[in-house]
Amino acid sequence: MVEHLRQKFHKEANGLFKLRHKNIVRTIDFFKENDTIYYVMDYINGPSLGKFLKTTAGGVLSEDKAFEFFLQLCDALSYIHKKKMLHLDVKPDNILIDESGENVFLIDFGLSKQYDEANGENTSELTGRTPGYSPIEQDENKIQHFTPATDIYALGA
């Protein structure tokens, strides 16, 4: 099982390393050391959208700022979907705001999956779900095939 998880992590790191989008945190390197695989990502000096909303904005963004962030995230999701990848955990805590407050970055691809448009993801197993952001069928583990609709639902939520 440990070797299976190592291989899965290596595959994830390799996939993330290939992603190059202005609104996705960049993976700079990945390597194996002491029988463990690591990856190195850009440091985004700013809070998550979740923390920002709880502490700074009193739970509210202006309509203009929300729309600006939404468009950036739509572009990032469109990019990964074109690469046949799904995030599967889009939520405010997985979105970082940069120090300027002008740009957002999608992070935490730990649940991400590659998919095939014809057959979808060939598993219905998913360990992480976030109430309020995951579609009902994901919460109830009733998804036979994952599609971009899961990420789009979560972004809307």
Q: Give a three-class secondary structure readout of the chain.
A: CHHHHHHHHHHHHHHHHCCCCCCECCEEEEEEECCEEEEEECCCCCCEHHHHHHHCCCCCCCHHHHHHHHHHHHHHHHHHHHCCEECCCCCHHHEEECCCCCCEEECCCCCCEECCCCCCCCCCCCCCCCCCCCCHHHHCCCCCCCCHHHHHHHHHC
From 75, 89, 93, 139, active-site residue:
89
| 42 in active site | no
The residues near 32 (Cβ < 8 Å, ≥ 6 apart) are: 10, 38
Could you give the residue numbers annotated as active site? 89
